Structure formats: structure tokens, C-alpha cells
């Protein structure tokens, strides 16, 4: 199953990067965590394989043509996590002005919102002006379990309004500010929407306190090392709890998360020219990119070094670039591909063709004559679709 993280132009890049890395550290290998563009949200059938849709902090109001599709996804049992966002909870019907958007029929249709038909409740995430330099600050919160977190980064100035106060159906306040200028403002809340669930954080728990920009904001308060360590530990804990509340099955703490390793571009040992033809078709470059990934090509002689680079030096937020070892005229040995015997595969392929009286000529290529072998990849769905 996929956990999809919205990556539209209004998203704050730092929030996107830390959301991807935080979710991957908590969810791999149980889920594939991938960014998703506004275009894919609108045109691709992402819902059946999506365990959770996540919106990181945004610098502007989110107006999307996929608003109704997202609302439908949650109502049918899906899960949504919003980070660094304000929100209004209302029992009085849709009102674009609650999110700060200019009222119009077009705005209402494109405004991100969640509507629970059973209770008549509506939730309006209002990201603006999350992510602005002037609004970033450290906040102190208390979780509904009674745990105090003296330091948590908040990238915007939003609060969750309407969740506190009188009893409301399907609403639970998950965290409260220890100090707030806005009466009844919550730092985090969960909302039941149809058969699904929404969790919104006005604070920004995706940001580790040990990394920028949160580290500078936290250190400006001169916390003790013990205070900083405890706050970081509890930040990770509330992220885990939010994901569990949204129905995700997390790996046990300490379980090693897989990460992509180098892949091998190989061809049938009777057709060694195939790999050369592939690299020539790429224009002889050793670094290129497609819609979703960057790729770095390595010669077979540097295979061991390329495997080490893939594990140790790739960016944990996106794991880029992807490393490909070009096996031009030779096959990697079993010690390099211990889970798959390439020589046996190609020999069996030739034997099957001979048995079926099929041609096994050097040209043209046939299905299975060339393949890209990798033991761990980020998303097979992305590989097949894009």
C-alpha cells in the first residue's frame, strides 16, 4: 500500500522533505511513501492503493480540482493527515470565507474541505500563511495523554478552531497549546468523516528538532540537552500515534527499514550488444532524470562502489539519485545478485524458446532479453506507471 504526500507548488519544500523522511523512517518497509503531484491526484486512480494521503505545510491556501475526490476518498474509509495547517470546524454548512479564500462558486468547488454527512460537520484546512519565515516558531503543547512537549516546531500561524469547547460528534483534541492567544485553539485534532478519518496538526511534528530549520528555532530558546532530547523523542512518538490513529500498521520500533540499492542493467549472454544499444539511446549520458527519479549510471567495474554509494549517500527524503550498474557484455556473479541467478534465468529462457520452436536470434530482441534487476526499490507502481 502507498502513503502519498502532496507535492503541489504551494507546498513548503522543507516540510515536504521532512515529511517524506519522517514517514519513511516510521513506515518502511510496511508502506511505500511517495510524493504525488496535483495532476496525478486529479487524473490517476490513486485511491485503491492509498493507505494515507498527507498534505505537508503549505505557503498558500490549497485550491485543488481534486478537492471533491479527496473528500470522497476519506468518506469511503480513507485517511488524511494535514501538517502545519490551521482549520475551522463548522456545523453550519460550507463557507469558503472560513479558510480565508475569496468567496465564489469556483472557490467552493476547489477548496480543500471534508464533509461528514451524518453529523453535518465540515472541516476546512486553512494552510495560509504556513511556512513563512516570520511565522515559524517553537511552541509548547500537551498531548491528550497528558504528556508535555516543551519544544515543537510550528511552521505557520494557524490554529485548529472549533474542535474545543462543547461536545462534538467524532472530534477529539489530540494536543493543546500550553500558551495561546486564541481561546479554544487546539494544536492537533482528529475528525471522523464518513467511514474515514482526518488528523490535522497546526504544529509541525514532521520537523526533527535536530535539523534545520527547527534546530535554529529551538536553540534560540537555549534548552538543556535533556529537554531537547525529550522533546525530540516525544515528537517522534506523536507522529507514530497519529499514524496508528489513522489506521496504519507501523513496524516495530528498531525494525530495520529497507532502502533502495543499486540496480543492474543486464542482457542475455548471447545478446551482449543490447546493453550498449540502451546506453547509446540515452545519448551517452551517465546522469539523467524522468518524471519521478534521477538516475546515475555506473560501469560494471565500479559495481561494488556503486552499491555502497546507493546505501550510504542517497538523500533520505527522496533517495535520489537511483544508481544503475551497466553490465555491458557481462553478467554479475551470484555474490552480487544472491537472490536471483541471472545465468540460469537466461539459459532457461533460451531452453523454453527452443522447446516451443521459437527463434532465439540475436536480433530483434525478444521479451526477457534485457532486464533491470534490483532487490529493493522505492515503488514498483511508479516503475510500472511512469
- Measured CA distances, 376 to 75, 99, 234 (Å): 34, 42, 31
Q: Is the dihedral of CA 267, 273, 275, 277 positive or negative?
A: negative
pTM score of the predicted model: 0.68
pLDDT digits (tens, 9 = 90+) for 229-239: 999 999 999 99
More confident residue, 106 or 334: 334
Residue 181, pLDDT > 80, answer: no
pLDDT digits (tens, 9 = 90+) for 201-248: 999 999 998 888 888 888 888 888 888 899 999 999 999 999 999 999
* CB burial of residue 375 (10 Å; 0-12, 13-18, 19+): middle
Q: How confident is the model at residue 64 (pLDDT cuts 50, 70, 90)?
A: confident
Q: What pLDDT does residue 132 have? A: 46
More confident residue, 212 or 338: 212
Nearest CA among 379, 162, 351, 385 for reference residue 268: 351
Q: How confident is the model at residue 133 (pLDDT cuts 50, 70, 90)?
A: very low
**Cell 507502481 identifies what position?**
381
**Euclidean distance between CA atoms 295 and 277, whole angstroms:** 17
**Euclidean distance between CA atoms 208 and 233, whole angstroms:** 10
Share of the chain above pLDDT 70, in %: 83
pLDDT digits (tens, 9 = 90+) for 73-122: 999 999 999 999 888 888 776 555 555 554 555 566 788 889 998 888 88
pLDDT digits (tens, 9 = 90+) for 134-145: 568 899 999 988
32-46, 146-160, 269-283, 299-313: range with highest mean pLDDT: 32-46
Instruction: Write out the three cell numbers for 217.
Output: 528555532
For residues 59-84, give the mean pLDDT.
Answer: 90
Q: What pLDDT does residue 130 have? A: 42
Residue 271, pLDDT > 60, answer: yes
Q: How confident is the model at residue 179 (pLDDT cuts 50, 70, 90)?
A: confident
Name every residue whose Cβ is closer than 8 Å to that of residue 173 and which is 6 or more positions away in sequence.
Answer: 144, 163, 164, 186, 188, 189
Q: What pLDDT does residue 159 have? A: 79
**Euclidean distance between CA atoms 343 and 328, whole angstroms:** 15
Q: What pLDDT does residue 6 have? A: 95
Nearest CA among 139, 3, 164, 2 for reference residue 84: 139
Residue 300, pLDDT > 90, answer: no
Share of the chain above pLDDT 90, in %: 35
For residues 169-176, give the mean pLDDT.
Answer: 89
For residues 270-295, give the mean pLDDT.
Answer: 84
**Euclidean distance between CA atoms 342 and 373, whole angstroms:** 9
Give me the chain's average pLDDT, please.
Answer: 83
Amino acid at each position: 500500500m502507498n502513503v502519498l504526500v502532496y507535492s503541489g507548488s504551494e507546498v513548503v519544500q522543507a516540510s515536504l522533505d521532512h515529511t517524506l523522511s519522517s514517514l519513511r523512517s516510521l513506515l518502511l518497509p510496511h508502506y511505500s511513501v511517495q510524493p504525488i503531484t496535483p495532476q496525478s491526484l486529479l487524473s490517476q486512480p490513486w485511491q485503491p492503493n492509498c493507505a494515507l494521503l498527507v498534505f505537508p505545510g503549505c505557503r498558500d491556501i490549497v485550491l485543488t480540482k481534486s478537492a471533491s475526490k479527496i473528500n470522497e476518498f476519506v468518506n469511503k474509509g480513507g485517511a488524511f493527515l494535514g501538517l502545519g495547517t490551521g482549520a475551522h470546524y463548522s456545523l453550519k454548512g460550507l463557507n469558503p470565507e472560513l479558510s480565508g479564500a475569496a468567496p465564489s462558486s469556483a472557490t467552493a468547488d476547489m477548496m480543500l474541505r471534508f464533509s461528514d454527512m451524518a453529523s453535518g460537520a465540515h472541516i476546512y484546512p486553512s494552510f495560509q500563511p504556513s511556512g513563512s519565515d516570520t511565522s515559524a516558531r517553537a511552541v509548547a503543547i500537551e498531548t491528550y495523554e497528558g504528556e508535555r512537549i516543551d519544544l515543537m516546531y510550528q511552521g505557520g500561524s494557524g490554529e485548529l478552531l472549533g474542535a474545543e469547547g462543547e461536545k462534538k460528534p467524532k472530534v477529539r483534541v489530540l494536543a493543546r497549546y500550553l500558551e495561546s492567544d486564541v481561546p479554544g485553539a487546539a494544536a492537533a485534532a482528529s475528525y471522523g468523516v464518513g467511514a474515514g478519518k482526518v488528523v490535522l496538526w497546526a504544529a509541525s511534528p514532521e520537523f526533527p528538532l535536530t535539523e534545520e530549520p527547527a534546530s535554529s528555532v529551538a536553540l534560540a530558546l537555549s534548552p538543556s540537552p535533556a529537554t531537547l532530547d525529550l522533546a525530540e523523542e516525544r515528537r517522534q512518538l506523536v507522529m507514530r500515534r497519529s499514524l496508528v490513529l489513522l489506521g496504519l500498521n507501523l513496524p516495530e520500533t528498531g525494525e530495520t527499514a529497507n532502502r533502495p540499492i543499486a540496480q543492474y542493467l543486464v542482457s542475455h549472454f548471447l545478446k551482449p550488444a543490447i546493453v550498449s544499444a540502451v546506453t547509446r539511446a540515452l545519448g551517452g549520458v551517465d546522469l539523467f532524470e524522468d518524471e519521478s527519479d534521477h538516475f546515475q549510471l555506473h560501469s560494471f567495474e565500479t559495481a561494488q562502489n556503486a552499491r555502497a554509494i546507493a546505501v550510504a549517500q542517497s538523500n533520505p527524503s527522496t533517495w535520489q539519485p537511483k544508481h544503475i550498474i551497466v553490465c555491458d557484455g557481462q553478467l554479475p556473479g551470484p555474490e552480487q545478485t544472491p537472490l536471483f541467478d541471472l545465468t540460469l534465468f537466461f539459459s532457461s529462457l533460451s531452453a523454453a524458446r527452443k522447446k516451443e520452436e521459437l527463434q532465439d536470434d540475436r536480433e530483434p530482441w525478444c521479451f526477457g532479453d534485457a532486464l533491470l534487476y534490483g532487490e529493493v526499490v522505492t515503488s514498483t507502481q511508479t516503475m510500472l506507471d511512469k
